[in-house]
Amino acid sequence: AATAPRIPSTRLALHHLDTSCSLHLGALWPSVRAGLLCEQKYGALLNNFATTDHVPQELELLNATDFVSEALQKVQQWQQGAARGCQEGSVEGRTVMQAGMMTQAEMSPLLSASISSKIKCYTFPRGDITRFRPARPDALGLLDYYLMDAASLLPVLALNVQLDDFVLDLCAAPGGKTLALLQTGFCGHLAANDISISRTKRLYQILHSYVPKEVRENVSVTSYDGRDWDHVKGGTFHKVLVDVPCTTDRHSATEEENNIFHKRRTKERQMLPMLQLQLLMAGILAAKPGGEVVYSTCSLSPLQNECVVE
């Protein structure tokens, strides 16, 4: 009774989310809230380095689909329909085409990455809570797919890695996005950094379980403080992913262990936007002139997203 918290960290987190997210998400918040509190669904990121020819067919028989190629096909069909409407000369067609051009411009990094990369990630349909089987090794011992939150692929697709790009994953552990970056087959060199040595060990395990030795030779794993990266190799990367530490809303709302809303971590939580800003600045300074930086979080908080970018 003396040591147990009066209010669980998960309840504090949910109260905070209810207060802040209901303001900026409005009518969307109830459905987003339900999604946060539901059991987490995973996607299966296909490992292109393993012998996985049989895996897509196996997953499709279970009614799973590759959401990357599926999304691309839908957008292309929509654009073709808009183009036909424009050619026919209708006012509606021209309006749709103008909207389509805006959408294409806004989504071009995602689309071009989808076209040019080999990334495939299978998910079950909405409402289907089937679990993927555990990953299996091929003849060389490489696992056939990696289970991850499918939304974690979006920053990787947005980064739009091109052939022989030097890429920095500034906050890389535990390694899902690092592995996804390698799946593009385009990284000339990939620097994977994370300040946490224990989390970096997990990153090493993933690389050894999924990536052949000859590819791992083009990956450097370090444990620097990401805020100081410009002192290490400033201005050298074509693409930089800054996937920063954040309140990790789903975890905060559902799990007591290591919850950042615990009273002992109040100061750490309050300082997160400053840490995120410092990491983003370091990522920008790590990029070559004309390079590209993607900033991402797994939080809904505008303070940790729009405000940091602004």
Q: Is residue 13 within 8 Å of residue 258, measured between CB atoms?
A: no
Which 8-state DSSP code applies to residue 303? Answer: T
Crossing angle of helices 29-37/9-25, nearest 10°?
Answer: 150
Q: Is residue 275 within 8 Å of residue 303, measured between CB atoms?
A: no
Tokens of 47: 């490992």
Instruction: Using the structure block, give the residue that is written with the tokens 């790590």.
Output: 286
Cα 156 to chain centroid distance, Å, stands at 6
Q: Which residues of 265-285 are buried (b: 16+ CB within 10 A; e: fewer)?
A: eeeebeebbebbbbbbebbee
Asked if residue 100 belongs to a known ligand binding site, the reply is no
Tokens of 221: 């794993």
Q: Catalytic residue at 38?
A: no
DSSP-based helix, strand, coil % in the chain, nearest 5: 50, 15, 35
Asked if residue 150 belongs to a known ligand binding site, the reply is no
Asked if residue 225 belongs to a known ligand binding site, the reply is yes
Q: In what order do the strands lie in the sheet with 165-169?
A: 219-222, 187-193, 165-169, 237-243, 287-296
Catalytic position from the list 21, 86, 121, 298:
298
Asked if residue 263 belongs to a known ligand binding site, the reply is no
Give the number of other CB atoms < 10 A from CB of residue 22.
15
Asked if residue 171 belongs to a known ligand binding site, the reply is yes
List, in order, residues 6 or more apart from 99 with CB less than 8 Å away: 82
Q: Is residue 119 classed as helix, strand or coil in its secondary structure?
A: coil
The type of residue at 184 is: T
Asked if residue 173 belongs to a known ligand binding site, the reply is yes
For residue 36, what is the enclosing H or E element?
helix 29-37
Asked if residue 291 belongs to a known ligand binding site, the reply is no
Asked if residue 177 belongs to a known ligand binding site, the reply is yes
Asked if residue 194 belongs to a known ligand binding site, the reply is yes
Asked if residue 134 belongs to a known ligand binding site, the reply is no
Give catalytic residues, as residue numbers.
298
> Which residues are annotated as part of the binding site for S-adenosyl-L-methionine?
171-177, 194, 225, 243
> Which residues are annotated as part of the binding site?
171-177, 194, 225, 243
